[in-house]
Amino acid sequence: MTEILPGSPCWAQLSARDLPAAQQFYGELFGWTAETDPDPQYGGYTTFSHDGAPAAAVAPLMNPQQPVMWLLSFAAADVDRTCESAKGAGAQVWMGPTEIGDLGRWALLSDPTGAPFAVWQKRGFGGFGVVDEPNAFGWADLSTRDRDAALAFYQGVLGWRVWPHDTYPMVGLADRMFGGVMPMDASFPAEVPSHWNPYFTVTDVDAAAATATRLGAEVLHGPVDVEMENGPRIAVIRDPQGATFGVFAPLADS
């Protein structure tokens, strides 16, 4: 992504039980530096930076029942209008729209298939300062139990374009892909809801998976080459606190 357009992924935030442990894990895995907001109203909200640019964040759980997870935010020109459109298309609005200081306006939703996501209207903070580089966000992956309903929802609410595919349609805006949609089959336990996962670009997927394992994470899938035209090498990882995310390396130029 060369710019964050309305409807594009604009931020990835980890909700964790142990913020210092999360900072240590992702700091060592991706080389991120962590800066915690000193304002007590934000409860230790910490921004991860890569070479000085905002790359992601970690925040405390909002309540004890909340799962440890990565949450993706998508840019919105008008959060209130987007929430109304989403509700009309079958989404659930859980929190907001809410002003976050002078940084922006935010809301937490789940799509009609149950996948949580957020929308963000920028003011002082636009989101990712770096993407599509090693150790930065590069892809968004939706696992859903109703692929057709999910695609229709995001097309209607966020204006996405869909590149059709029998097993893994890809999504984006204009001519730029930024994610894909995977149907959840019997390999997913029944209690696992539809969900988004961020993928972070790395130079060496095998090395990243090995480092994550050494740091206490579990590799759930891969490393493996994706069997698609120009498919990358990927791995899906569960961090030591239980949040899942992916790493990938684009196909090397021949």
Q: Looking at residue 40, what is its pLDDT?
A: 81
Label residue 228 by pLDDT band (50, 70, 90): confident
Rounded Cα–Cα distance for residues 199 and 179 (Å): 9
Residues 187 and 214 placed together within one structural domain of the fold: yes
Residues 219 and 171 placed together within one structural domain of the fold: yes
Please write the tens of the pLDDT for every residue from 89-148: 999 999 989 999 899 999 999 999 999 999 999 999 999 999 999 999 999 999 999 999
Residues 18 and 97 placed together within one structural domain of the fold: yes
Cis status of the peptide bond prior to 97, with omega within 30 of 0: yes
Residues 52-56 have a mean pLDDT of 96
Domain end position, chosen among 63, 92, 122: 122
Residue 238 has pLDDT above 80, yes or no: yes
CATH number, residue 219: 3.10.180.10
Domain membership flag for residue 131:
no
DSSP state of 66: S
Report the domain count for the chain: 2
Residues 97 and 143 placed together within one structural domain of the fold: no
Domain membership flag for residue 129:
no
Please write the tens of the pLDDT for every residue from 57-83: 999 998 888 889 999 999 999 999 999
Q: Looking at residue 96, what is its pLDDT?
A: 81
Q: Looking at residue 252, what is its pLDDT?
A: 67
The closest alpha carbon to 109, from 88, 126, 91, belongs to 91
Domain end position, chosen among 122, 157, 182: 122
Residues 108 and 149 placed together within one structural domain of the fold: no
Rounded Cα–Cα distance for residues 195 and 32 (Å): 25
Q: Which residue has the higher pLDDT, 242 or 41?
A: 242
Q: Which residue has the higher pLDDT, 191 or 117?
A: 117
Residues 105 and 154 placed together within one structural domain of the fold: no
Residues 160-166 have a mean pLDDT of 93
Domain end position, chosen among 122, 153, 182: 122
Residues 182 and 229 placed together within one structural domain of the fold: yes
Bridge partners (DSSP) of residue 71 are 13
Residues 54 and 118 placed together within one structural domain of the fold: yes
Domain membership flag for residue 4:
no
Residue 2 has pLDDT above 60, yes or no: no
Domain membership flag for residue 80:
yes
**Segment holding 83, helix H or strand E:** helix 79-88
Domain membership flag for residue 90:
yes
Name residues whose C-beta falls within 8 Å of residue 76's C-beta, 6 or more positions apart in sequence. 6, 7, 82, 119, 120, 121
Residue 253 has pLDDT above 60, yes or no: no
Rounded Cα–Cα distance for residues 108 and 141 (Å): 18
Domain membership flag for residue 31:
yes
Residues 116 and 144 placed together within one structural domain of the fold: no
Residues 23 and 93 placed together within one structural domain of the fold: yes
DSSP state of 165: -
By residue range, what is the domain housing residue 209?
A: 136-249
Domain membership flag for residue 76:
yes
Residue 225 CA from chain centroid, whole number: 21
Domain membership flag for residue 67:
yes
Residue 1 has pLDDT above 50, yes or no: no
Residues 163 and 66 placed together within one structural domain of the fold: no
